[in-house]
Amino acid sequence: MAATEKKQAVYLCEGCGISDAISLDELEQAVTGEMRVPLCRRIDACCGEDGLAQIKKDIDKGEVTQAIIAACSPRVMCEEFDALGAQVIRANLREQVIWSQPAGDENTQMLATDHVRMAVAKAAKTEKPAAHGPGASSMKLLVVGGGVTGLSAAREASKTGADVVLVEKTGELGGWAGKWSKHIPYASPYRGLQENPLPDLIKEVMGDKAITVKTNTTVARTEGGPGEFAVQLQNGKGDEWDVFGAIVVATGWRPYDTAKLEPLGYGSSPHIVTDIEFEDILSAGLSKKTKKKKSLDVVAFVIPGGADRMPYSSGVSDRVAIKQALQVVEAVPGAMVYVIYEDLRAHGTAEEFYREAQEAGVVFQKGEVISISSDLTVTVRDDLLGGEVPMSGIDMVVISTGMVPNSTDIDREPSQSGADQLKDDIDPRVPITFSGKLVNGGNGAEPDKAADDDEPALPGGPILNLQYRQGPHIPILANGFADSHYICFPYETRRTGIYTCGPVRRAMTVGEARQDAQGAVLKAIQAMRAADESLAVHPRSGDLSYPKINHDICTKCRRCTVECPFGAIDEDPDGRPHINFSRCRRCGTCMGACPVRTITFDNYNPQMVADMIGAVEVPDEFAEKPRILVLACENDAYPALDMAGINRRQLSPYLRIIPVRCLGSVTMLWISTALEKGFDGVMLMGCKSGDDYQCHFIKGSGIAEERMSSVGETLKSMMLEEDRVVMEEVSIADSVRAPQVLNEFADKIGAMPPNPFKGF
């Protein structure tokens, strides 16, 4: 593998109290002796000016190509060491040895030596990564959707110097929000009604030379990846192809289905309307037109609860009710305006808006709305009122509805059957399918979408019509909203280079949508720049390594294609996996999936970690020193353990912790190597999977969980207890819990008989 001969050196750091807690003499002997690394230096403080200079001297002289630095955590001092020029391999002696173990202990010394052994073994199987080739360099942005979100996105992108094409399905810009006369406050002091910002925004966009607006246009097909999306745009006149660096999807929302409000009473009178219908009445002007038909002396805004409400709520419709109530009070002097609610969600600055409405005389009446009759009697139930109270004498009832995300284009025919959709990787809660068959329930979620194979799970057709092996849709999460990581990276869609923003990913107001557009545009620009330099985007931003497939060994089993969380792998006409590098996030899930282990990264591969495991010295069964392998996700679990060390929380000395890119990258080889080597237990530590996942690669930890579900059988066939191999979910904030979990596991393993494979 190595193009040039590897020359290794181990640098043992004496700083940060390392030389006080462990014997560096012994360690040095082990390095030059059993580890057979000829060059080992002890350095006062590796990160100090003198220390760095000493290491650099060796490298510059050509004596060292791989510097194994046994010092602090690989999470700190990265820039300093990377600047040395050689490939740097780190052994974490500080956070995970001396800060979490008693000084001068025999076990501490063994742990430190194992850390260096693992680093030396790693060095043998790692290369400094080189780029996969020239990057893809289109810096033009496609924005889909001409509502407030899309228009804002286009403007924000243009301000950074990007060229933008904005496509809008209808003939007009502005979307829903553009039609409305007044808006929920979007600027300080967040009190009164605000003017519609859309006319000005549209003017700005139309006057912007960097933005090309195409109305009556949809996206017919999308191919490629970041920096090189080939997009077929379609309008009445015909098709055209264009190349874009990234895509922002701002397709917005559509109203909630009014049929679902009929049981409540919608439809029984023309004077029972939805909030969206009431906007038209408001736009037409209240005092004149409507008053002629029907006086608006008493108006009730009803925010339904329970079954009538949508399965999710964001508080947007509550704020709309407040807004419309204020509009009535302002337009019809003396009117009596009620807002009837069970829960009023007016969070953040909306509290000010709520107060404004109260001061204007809007009456907020708490109670569950049981029914609305055709004579406009609203029956309300509340415990404080002691039962049901009919409120009658109302002139108009306005029912709050909600926003349904346009994560699909409902005007298009579904292009797939439900069964085909199920095979696609659309919904992270739906378990992985393999060859069209459900592998198992995965993530603990019921495969609810499988209920009827022919019934499409998503209404309508795809928006971008992605020509991806994993299907044409943008992946969704709960309730049809575009998938997004709710804490860390809200705009990422699992289709790299495609960012959703606005109400397609979360119900939001105009003010919120404008901010959201800014965020998504910044991510899109990052993605275009990264693609240009062949670099990974979030969360491994700047990573040059990429998965390589040895096609001579590949059996075309397609597991990598199916399990890649980002749809990065397609199949060529011969059925061989083809990786689209600019889509790839470098998570290694494909590597963990490959049964013949032929997917590798220059600096991360199955053999490398297997050799690291093999390098650990496992004492025999009489030593009563068990060994436990911990494969810790480097996004959350590993930093949490570092943090535990920083806080001097003690860890069991029997743990051997190896960071992994994602639990999805864990191959069964590592577990079997550990057990055959005599490790007594294995723990996988990663992020939360499921509906509210925190996995940085979305499906990685869920996939690992699924793969692990079959590990019990393997253990049984080896005559080993099933609970020797477990998986735990932790978050980055778990620096107290993570060590507890590990120590408890170590106690449990310690109480079991030793692994009988020891010593073989």
Partner 1 sequence: MTAPDAARKYDLGFARWVRDNVDGGDKLSMCMQCGVCSGSCPIGTQMDYGPRKLFMMIRAGMKEEVMTSNTMWSCTSCYRCVVRCPRGVPVTYILQDLAAKSVELGYANPNDNTRFSKSFWWSAKTWGRTDERLVTARYYFSFGLKEGMRRSLDNLKIAYCMIKAGRMHLGMPHKVKDKKGLQAILKKAAEIEQRESGS
Closest to partner 1 by CB, 343 or 455: 343
Size of the site for partner 1 (CB under 8 A): 27
> Residue 444 corresponds to which amino acid?
G
Of 391, 404, 615, 631, the one binding partner 1 (CB under 8 A) is 391
Q: Which does 557 bind (CB under 5 to 8 A by kind): partner 1, ligand SF4, none?
A: ligand SF4
Size of the site for ligand SF4 (CB under 6 A): 27
Query: Is position 338 an interface residue for partner 1 (rule: CB under 8 A)?
Result: yes
Closest to ligand SF4 by CB, 450 or 557: 557
Structure tokens at 470: 């994993």
> Residue 61 corresponds to which amino acid?
K
Cβ contact 317:402 at 8 Å = yes
Question: Binding string, 266-285, against ligand SF4, x = CB under 6 A?
Answer: --------------------
**In the beta sheet, which residues pair with residue 404?**
254
Query: Is position 382 an interface residue for partner 1 (rule: CB under 8 A)?
Result: yes
Query: Is position 243 an interface residue for ligand SF4 (rule: CB under 6 A)?
Result: no
Closest to partner 1 by CB, 189 or 393: 393
Closest to ligand SF4 by CB, 112 or 549: 549
CA distance linking residue 435 with residue 558, whole number of Å: 9
**In the beta sheet, which residues pair with residue 178?**
none
Q: What DSSP string describes 207-229? A: T-TTEEEE-SEEEEEEES-TT-E
End-to-end CA distance of the chain: 30
Structure tokens at 671: 């577990």
CB of 302 to partner 1, least distance (A): 14
Structure tokens at 540: 């491994």
CA distance linking residue 157 with residue 106, whole number of Å: 59
Cβ contact 482:455 at 8 Å = no
Closest to partner 1 by CB, 365 or 652: 365
Query: Is position 545 an interface residue for ligand SF4 (rule: CB under 6 A)?
Result: no
How many C-beta atoms lie closer than 10 Å to residue 234's C-beta? 17
Of 26, 388, 453, 533, the one binding partner 1 (CB under 8 A) is 388
CA distance linking residue 66 with residue 85, whole number of Å: 9
Closest to partner 1 by CB, 351 or 453: 351
User: Residues 6 or more apart from 553 whose CB is under 8 A from it?
Assistant: 596, 598
Q: Which does 269 bind (CB under 5 to 8 A by kind): partner 1, ligand SF4, none?
A: none
Strand 368-372, strand 378-382: pairing: antiparallel
CA distance linking residue 504 with residue 484, whole number of Å: 10
Query: Is position 272 an interface residue for partner 1 (rule: CB under 8 A)?
Result: no
Query: Is position 387 an interface residue for partner 1 (rule: CB under 8 A)?
Result: yes
Candidate segments 32-40, 195-203, 382-390, 432-440, binder of partner 1 by CB under 8 A: 382-390
Q: Which does 554 bind (CB under 5 to 8 A by kind): ligand SF4, partner 1, none?
A: ligand SF4
CB of 586 to ligand SF4, least distance (A): 5
CA distance linking residue 135 with residue 131, whole number of Å: 9
Question: Binding string, 551-590, against partner 1, x = CB under 8 A?
Answer: ----------------------------------------
Which regions of 563-711 does DSSP assign to beta strands (E)? 569-571, 577-579, 599-600, 628-633, 655-660, 681-686
Query: Is position 564 an interface residue for ligand SF4 (rule: CB under 6 A)?
Result: yes
Residues 288-307 that bind partner 1 (CB under 8 A): 298
- C-alpha 224, offset from chain centre: 21
CA distance linking residue 162 with residue 140, whole number of Å: 6
Query: Is position 556 an interface residue for ligand SF4 (rule: CB under 6 A)?
Result: yes
CB of 582 to ligand SF4, least distance (A): 10
Residues 567-626 that bind ligand SF4 (CB under 6 A): 568-569, 577, 579, 584-590, 593-594, 596, 598-599
How many C-beta atoms lie closer than 10 Å to residue 206's C-beta? 11
Give how far Cα 356 sits from Cα of 57, 319, 363, 601, Å: 70, 12, 12, 59
CB of 402 to partner 1, least distance (A): 24
> Residue 301 corresponds to which amino acid?
F
Residues 350-379 that bind partner 1 (CB under 8 A): 358-367, 370, 379
* Selection from 547, 544, 545, 541 nearest residue 561 by Cα: 547
Q: Over the range 607-646, which residues count as b (16 or more CB within 10 Å of their CB) and which as e? A: bbbbbbbbbbebbebeeebbbbbbbbbbbbbbbbbbbbbe
Q: Which does 390 bind (CB under 5 to 8 A by kind): partner 1, ligand SF4, none?
A: partner 1
CB of 558 to ligand SF4, least distance (A): 5
Q: Which does 556 bind (CB under 5 to 8 A by kind): partner 1, ligand SF4, none?
A: ligand SF4
Query: Is position 502 an interface residue for ligand SF4 (rule: CB under 6 A)?
Result: no
* Selection from 372, 366, 263, 267 nearest residue 308 by Cα: 263
Closest to partner 1 by CB, 382 or 728: 382
Query: Is position 57 an interface residue for ligand SF4 (rule: CB under 6 A)?
Result: no
Structure tokens at 55: 């290491």
Closest to partner 1 by CB, 380 or 517: 380
User: Residues 6 or more apart from 478 whose CB is under 8 A from it?
Assistant: 312, 429, 691
CB of 379 to partner 1, least distance (A): 7
Closest to ligand SF4 by CB, 143 or 687: 687
Cβ contact 69:120 at 8 Å = no
Q: Which does 392 bind (CB under 5 to 8 A by kind): partner 1, ligand SF4, none?
A: partner 1
**In the beta sheet, which residues pair with residue 234?**
218, 239
Q: Which does 549 bind (CB under 5 to 8 A by kind): ligand SF4, partner 1, none?
A: ligand SF4
Closest to ligand SF4 by CB, 185 or 592: 592
Strand 163-167, strand 211-214: pairing: parallel
Binding site for ligand SF4 (CB under 6 A): 547, 549, 554-560, 564, 566, 568-569, 577, 579, 584-590, 593-594, 596, 598-599
Where on the chain is the footprint of partner 1 (CB under 8 A)?
A: 298, 336, 338, 358-367, 370, 379-380, 382, 384-385, 387-394
